[in-house]
Structure 1
Amino acid sequence: MTTTETPYLLGNEPDELRRLEEQAAALAPATRAILGMAGIEPGMRVLDLGTGAGDVAFELSRIVGPSGSVVGIDQSAKALRWAAGRCEAQGLRNVSFVHDDLHQMRLTGQVDAVVGRLVLLYTPDPAAVLRKFAGYVRPGGVVVSMEYEMSVAGLLPATPLSERITYWINEAFRRSGLDPYLGARLETVFADAGLAGATVLGLQAYRPPGDPTGGRMASGVLRTLLPVLTRTGLATAEEVGIDTLGQRLFEDQVRSGAVFRPPTLVGGWSRIGGS
């Protein structure tokens, strides 16, 4: 997702959109669990904020079923074309997409739920975004946000390479003015949006030794972040060694018998009107 005020740090080119698809597959179990606990159910009309490649919209589509509907909103025309093609390939008839900026768009009517995953991180005022879209949710409806808490990502037990990768990623976000720990602060963000008493819960995935997910995820995001690392002096391209990074992390994981932990996906949700 991009806005006119804060550019999406990771881009919207095809390679990045494919990386987001793989990330979404890793996040799918936690995402489904959070949506279920938050109360997303069949027949609901749902807005998916910053829909990007469409993965959350597709998850929502399967939950709300043919009697419900999902509208995915994003400012990136490239991402929406990608999402629309994937939607057509999957034969989903209850999903549509709108090309607009979250800060500027205006809606008519009400919806049953507003959902956003890894969206608030890229907005200058997360509480303002939640406050705005909560205003479009009917009484008794629900606002759901999912954000990363990135500090835990890496191998367990850690290796020098995994610690270096975690530092590079977290620091690249910080030096770009973004909060890599936003998920841990969701309850405060909801309260600042006028949604007091939100439920906030983090779900942590684990990948066993020999699973290549960690190497692929780390090398994928660092390949996209490499200009930030070099521009801000975090690391040189030679230090990162992006072309071999994923394999080196995988070999570290196998050699040390380590478990890979992706960032914790933290979900926050609140009912409008407290019902």
Structure 2
Amino acid sequence: MTTTETPYLLGSEPEELRRLEEQAAALAPATRAILALAGIRPGMRVLDLGTGAGDVAFEVARLVGPSGSVVGIDQSSKALRWAAGRCAEQGLTNVSFVHDDLHEMRPAGEVDAVVGRLVLLYAPDPAAVLRKYAGYVRPGGVVVSMEYEMSVAGLLPPTPFSERVAFWITESFRRSGLDPGLGARLGTVFAEAGLAGATVLGLQGYSAPGTLTGSRMAAGVLRTLLPVLTRTGLATTEDVGIETLGQRFFDEQVETGRMFRPPTLVGAWARVGES
């Protein structure tokens, strides 16, 4: 999502959208588990906030089936064109997209659920976004949010190099006015939105030495964040060495036999009060 107050930090160029596809593949098992636990089921009408490249919408589409529907909302026309092309490639007929700002959009009617992944991070007031869209959910419907808790990411156990990479990433978000630990606070955000008693569950993935998940994730996000690192004085382009960073990360993981632990994907969900 992009707003005039808090710009989307990572952009929507093709290279970034491809990176998001790779990230989504890594997040897919946790995302499916959270959506299922939250009660997304066949026949539901669902809004996907900040749909981006469309991956969450596609996961929801498979859960709601042909009798259900998903509308993905995003302010980036580039991302939506990308998502629409991917949707057609996958043969999904129950997904549509709307080009609009989350703060301005007014859905046409009630839905059964609202979902969003890695979108509240970019909202100046996350609780206000949840409160607004909960108002479009039928009584007994569900609001679902998924956000990162980034502080755990890196090699396990950490090495000086992996700690430096993790610091560059989390500190880039902080210096941009964004909260890299938002996932851990989702219960509080839901309560502030009037959605008390939310279930909050973090799902943690792990990648063995020799897999490319960690190196690709580290290099991809740092390539995108490089202007922030240099602008805020966190690191120089020479410090980062982006062209070789992925290979160095991979080599270190293999040589030390360490697991890679990505950011924890925290899911929170709550039912909208029934009258």
| TM-score bracket, shorter-length normalisation | over 0.9
Query: 2 CA distance for matches of 1:102 and 1:3?
Result: 9
Q: CA contact under 8 A between 1:58 and 1:87: conserved in structure 2? A: yes
Query: 1 CA distance for matches of 2:3 and 2:94?
Result: 26
Q: Secondary structure at the match of 1:196?
A: coil
The answer to whether the aligner puts 1:194 opposite 2:194 as a matched pair is yes
What is residue 120 of structure 1 aligned with on the other side? 120
Query: 2 CA distance for matches of 1:265 and 1:251?
Result: 26
Letter aligned with residue 166 of structure 2: T
Query: 1 CA distance for matches of 2:269 and 2:231?
Result: 37
Deviations along 1:184-208, one digit per CA (max 9) or x if unpaired, are: 0000000000000000000000000
Query: 1 CA distance for matches of 2:4 and 2:114?
Result: 21
Q: How many residues in Structure 1 have an aligned counterpart in Structure 2?
A: 275
What is residue 77 of structure 2 aligned with on the other side? 77
What is residue 55 of structure 1 aligned with on the other side? 55
Letter aligned with residue 128 of structure 2: A
TM superposition outliers: structure 1 runs of 4+ over 2 Å = none
Letter aligned with residue 4 of structure 2: T
Q: Secondary structure at the match of 2:51?
A: coil
Query: What is the aligned-residue identity percentage?
Result: 82
Deviation, 1:7, is 1.1
What is residue 45 of structure 2 aligned with on the other side? 45
The answer to whether the aligner puts 1:256 opposite 2:233 as a matched pair is no
What is residue 224 of structure 1 aligned with on the other side? 224
Deviations along 1:249-268, one digit per CA (max 9) or x if unpaired, are: 11110011000000000000
Letter aligned with residue 268 of structure 2: G
What is residue 87 of structure 1 aligned with on the other side? 87
Deviations along 1:26-59, one digit per CA (max 9) or x if unpaired, are: 0000000000000000000000000000000000
What is residue 247 of structure 1 aligned with on the other side? 247
Q: Secondary structure at the match of 2:267?
A: strand
Q: Secondary structure at the match of 2:144?
A: strand
TM normalised by structure 2 equals: 0.99
In structure 1, the gaps of 5 or more residues are: none
Query: 1 CA distance for matches of 2:107 and 2:28?
Result: 28
What is residue 136 of structure 2 aligned with on the other side? 136
The answer to whether the aligner puts 1:4 opposite 2:7 as a matched pair is no
Deviations along 1:217-254, one digit per CA (max 9) or x if unpaired, are: 00000000000000000000000000000100111100
Q: CA contact under 8 A between 1:47 and 1:114: conserved in structure 2? A: yes
Deviation, 1:274, is 6.2
Q: Secondary structure at the match of 1:200?
A: strand
The answer to whether the aligner puts 1:16 opposite 2:20 as a matched pair is no
Q: CA contact under 8 A between 1:215 and 1:250: conserved in structure 2? A: yes
Query: 1 CA distance for matches of 2:185 and 2:174?
Result: 15
Query: 2 CA distance for matches of 1:274 and 1:149?
Result: 31
Query: 1 CA distance for matches of 2:65 and 2:184?
Result: 31
What is residue 234 of structure 1 aligned with on the other side? 234
Deviation, 1:4, is 3.2
Q: Secondary structure at the match of 1:239?
A: helix
Query: 1 CA distance for matches of 2:255 and 2:120?
Result: 37
The answer to whether the aligner puts 1:33 opposite 2:33 as a matched pair is yes
Letter aligned with residue 116 of structure 1: G
Letter aligned with residue 40 of structure 1: I
Query: 2 CA distance for matches of 1:54 and 1:111?
Result: 19
The answer to whether the aligner puts 1:99 opposite 2:99 as a matched pair is yes
Query: 2 CA distance for matches of 1:60 and 1:103?
Result: 22
Q: Secondary structure at the match of 2:52?
A: coil
Letter aligned with residue 271 of structure 1: R
What is residue 213 of structure 2 aligned with on the other side? 213
In structure 2, the gaps of 5 or more residues are: none
What is residue 178 of structure 2 aligned with on the other side? 178
